[in-house]
Amino acid sequence: MDKQKGHSTMASNDLLDPPGDPQPGDLIEIFRPAYQHWALYLGDGYIINLTPVDEGPAAAMSSVKSVFSRKAVVRMQLLKEVVGGDSYRVNNKYDDDHTPLPVSEIIQRAQVLIGQEVSYDLLGSNCEHFVTLLRYGEGVSEQATRAIGAIGLVTAAASAFSVLGLINNRSRNRPF
């Protein structure tokens, strides 16, 4: 439980609890089939989030295609429409390490950006970076950090296999 607001901060595999009652400025984590989408709650059922430039407002980064977009549009949408058939929760998971800005400032910063086109990069400027930048004044994304770690692991493994292949090829080609 989040001590400050009493919101559930359950693990992502524990989706049986209700998602909580979002308050303005809260981070909303939406569980898509292959990834998590992030939004910021504005109030009265509305959120602000990033959507792909080439898709309609209802897309709300819900397709896997959106993960590979290079541009996004900041949109204000109804939370229930963005969530659709997926589940969500209030997740202000960085509050222990980052001090949230005053709610009025978070909302004001968010409202200025509605309708703006922004660059999007899965690893460096994704939807989680966007909403944490609004809430804390600093973009943070565990999702991107995990992806970078996985890419590093795959690269290291590929390099190791490449070196091993080179060693095996050299030993097979020896005349003795």
Catalytically active residues are 37, 127
Are residues 28 and 90 in contact, defined by beta-carbon separation less than 8 angstroms?
Answer: yes
Strands (E), the chain: 27-31, 36-43, 46-52, 71-78, 87-90, 117-119
Q: Is 167 helix (H, G, I), strand (E, B) or coil?
A: helix
Strands 71-78 and 117-119 turn out to be antiparallel
Angstrom distance (rounded) from CA 107 to CA 25: 7
Neighbours of 50 (CB within 10 A): 27
